[in-house]
Structure 1
Amino acid sequence: MQPTGPQSLDRALALVDAVAAAPGPVSAKALARLAGCSLSTAYHLLGPLTERGYLVRTARGYALGPALPRLHRSFLHQLAPAPGMADLLARLRRATGGEAYYTAYRGGVITVVDTTAPVTDTGNPFAPGRETRAHATAHGKALLARLTPKARRRYLAEHGMARLTPATITSAEALEAELLRVRAAGLAVSVGEADPAWTCLGVALPPAGEDRDAVHALSVSVPTEEFRRRPDAIRTALAEAAAGRI
């Protein structure tokens, strides 16, 4: 019997996730194994996913389809980022020599929405997508500092505070003290807290659009050794980018 209801939906989404995580097209047999279902079930679900454009079937297997860019455009539209965000990220990258990021909180979820880091740069630890390490990243701390205590507790209860490096903050009390400093300085800094090789700096942006529950942040990441050579220049460039002066 084919799965029905929520189980069928969950497996269909698992198939899309598996294709998205792969470096290239994936065979139906491999997708069935990754989703934990039979090959017949995989084909049963791949049909409508392909018809709706979420996936395409190629000679080498299944790949992401043309419906996904539309979803991403709609996602960006609903977040209502500052105008010219892509250009701003590019200017920030040139000014700092690091990778720049636009991140947003909405509905209890923090997402790295856009970045200047190439998709082929697998060494960069801050890839687009759902961010579950907000306690350890500068963009995450900049966003958490703007939330109400209730929303912040809910986020941390759901995602936890895993120790990622020896520098990671893992207690709620220490994080609250850190967020007080972030609010006072208007700047969040994470020196090797998410990845020992990287330092990131982040600032929350003014509210934009009609969704007042959404919070946005601009951030930059550089190798930790590079940050230690010129911390003031990187801080200044980020502040000027957030103010629209670069």
Structure 2
Amino acid sequence: MPASSSSAVDKALDLIEAVAGSDRPLRLAEIAEQVGLHRGTAYRVLVDLVRRGWVMRVGDHYLPGTAVLRLSRSAAATSLAGVSRPVLEELAEQTGMMVNLQVLADDRARVVDVVRPDRLEMISDLRDELLPVHRFAGPLALVAALPPPAREPFLGPAEAEGHRMEGPEGLLDALERAARTGFAVQRGRAERLIGSLSRAVTPTPDAPPVCALTLVGPVGEFDDEHLTALERRLREATDRLGGELARLTAPGAGRRGSGDGSRPGGAAEPSTTDQEEGKQP
């Protein structure tokens, strides 16, 4: 086990390097052991790294975050973009639409990756852009998947622009509709000729959304006649991605030897609660 880092910066960089350099998502105890930190210390630093986008948490596992992806397009295969890319490509081929991957960032959603068919080259892919909830389907789907109290920070940009909040055409009604149906639809709001359809990905029940997949194309192709088929394809894709993320972060995933998630020598893996509170087994 390496010696404990001497500064807060060293600790943060050690944790980022451990997560980004792994060939699979890691649990807190594994990361702490690799970098030589107590679990409580590692957890506190990871909380800040998750908040800043350098690390992403899925269940009780950690993956490279969107800040890492922005610096390097050659992210590890276990990064969110790496896992999602085949799903995006297949969905774009099935629908003929541009498909993007978005995650919540600050009070908006960031476009992390995009697959754009040749026929839609005229539509901006918005890669790395931050999108507000009241103008785009991706952030609308993500925020709608949050518990109502957790939605509040994302309403600020809409209120600042004087966007209607109440009533049939208001943002709050749109959020409730997206939460009820599981889909967010925008027709010509951000750009008059562009439509989009989005659905959030939640690998584990009752957990916050990890990301959203969004279909983007000519607004005329999002009419009621086409929408049902697009929703079916999008549901299949998000369910597939959610299943893949759940598989990657399941207890024992990627471990050698015992497949039951046990530690070498037969010692049980500490519980998530113990890990987060920094208790020693």
Give TM class, smaller chain: 0.5 to 0.7
CA contact (8 A) 1:136 1:193 kept: yes
- Of 229, 235, 240 in structure 1, the residue corresponding to residue 236 of structure 2 is 240
How big is the shift at 1:162?
A: 4.4
1:143-184 Cα distance to aligned partner (Å, 9 max, x none): 111234454332332465648xxxxxx212211111111011
Matched with 2:126 is 127
Q: 2: CA distance between counterparts of 1:180 and 1:155?
A: 14
| Structure 1: tracts of 5 or more residues without a match | 1-67, 164-169
Cα RMSD (Å)? 3.3
Matched with 1:218 is 213
* Residues 1-246 of structure 1 mapped to structure 2, 5 A cutoff: 71-72=71-72, 80-81=79-80, 84-117=83-116, 123-158=122-157, 160=159, 162=161, 170-173=163-166, 174-207=170-203, 215-228=210-223, 230-244=226-240
CA contact (8 A) 2:145 2:208 kept: no
CA contact (8 A) 2:199 2:214 kept: yes
Pick closer, same or farther for the CA change 1:182–1:70 going to 2, 3 Å. Answer: closer
Q: Report sequence identity in percent.
A: 27
Q: 2: CA distance between counterparts of 1:161 and 1:126?
A: 25
2:200 partner amino acid = A
How big is the shift at 1:84?
A: 2.6
Q: Secondary structure at the match of 2:228?
A: helix
Pick closer, same or farther for the CA change 1:230–1:106 going to 2, 3 Å. Answer: same
TM-score, scaled relative to structure 2: 0.51
1:58-116 Cα distance to aligned partner (Å, 9 max, x none): xxxxxxxxxx9782359x67x95276311100000011110001000144442000001
TM-score, scaled relative to structure 1: 0.57
How big is the shift at 1:138?
A: 1.0
Matched with 2:60 is none
Q: Secondary structure at the match of 2:179?
A: helix
